[in-house]
Structure 1
Amino acid sequence: MSGTIANKYGNIYIDKEVIAKIASQASTECYGIVGFSYKSKVDGLVELLKKENMSNGVKVEIEEDTVSIELFVIIQYGTKISVVADNIIDRVKYTLEKMTSLKVRKIDINVQGVRVNK
């Protein structure tokens, strides 16, 4: 299912992958985030995704005209996790609503690991 925006000229359909890319790009602009990991851990191992695969660390669910997002992130060691998560939520919500005109219902942050960023 894709996000739909209706106006007087017709409908605009936004694919889940586009929403995932917007969300991942917006969150990488936040201080304290190292990167993304896969949506599920395999035997407790966490793999840092490369820039071209970042949207694999984002799960998007669309219901009517609202979007729910779940991000699987790796945070920089030494930063306060709650502050980084709040910044990510604020940035992703603002960017998605501005770029797509879809309402963000909720954003969940799953911290998959902590890493020393060199």
Structure 2
Amino acid sequence: MKFQTEYGEVEITVNAIRRLVYLAVLETYGPISIGSDNWFSRWFSSEEGKIKVEEDEYGHLKIDIFVEVEFGTKVTEVGKNIEENVIHKLRAFANCENPEVNVHIIGVR
């Protein structure tokens, strides 16, 4: 992802975006762990690697986050809070406008 500032061009890698999303999820109340949609990824990748970040040719981001939530929390509220926190962090730190954030609740513990 590239954007222009008055001082020059800034490029942010997909891995940096993934790390920023991971930290935003950790700051949100409710999720216990970041999971994945398939068993192979659950066993053989780090939690940060289980966040899918895709960028299209126009620079728009699509982010899929797979989380397990704490028992007793409102699942819809946790998903909404994660989405809002991720969008806020991406706008503030990475200058991303209107990223598509999809939160998938894969379990309750």
CA pair 111-72 structure 1, distance change in 2 beyond 3 A: same
What is the 5 A alignment of 1:1-80? 3-38=1-36, 40-42=37-39, 47=42, 53-63=46-56, 64-80=58-74
The percent of aligned pairs where both chains have the same amino acid is 23
CA drift at 1:49: 9.2
Q: Compute the TM-score of the two structures, normalised by the length of structure 2.
A: 0.86
Query: Is the Cα–Cα contact under 8 Å of residues 87 and 99 in structure 2 kept in the other structure?
Result: no
Gaps of 5+ in 2: none
- Structure 1 runs of 4+ with >6 Å offset: none
Q: Compute the TM-score of the two structures, normalised by the length of structure 1.
A: 0.80
Gaps of 5+ in 1: none
How far apart in 1 are the matches of 2:24 and 2:16? 12
Instruction: State the Cα RMSD in Å.
Output: 2.3
What is the 5 A alignment of 1:82-101? 82-101=76-95
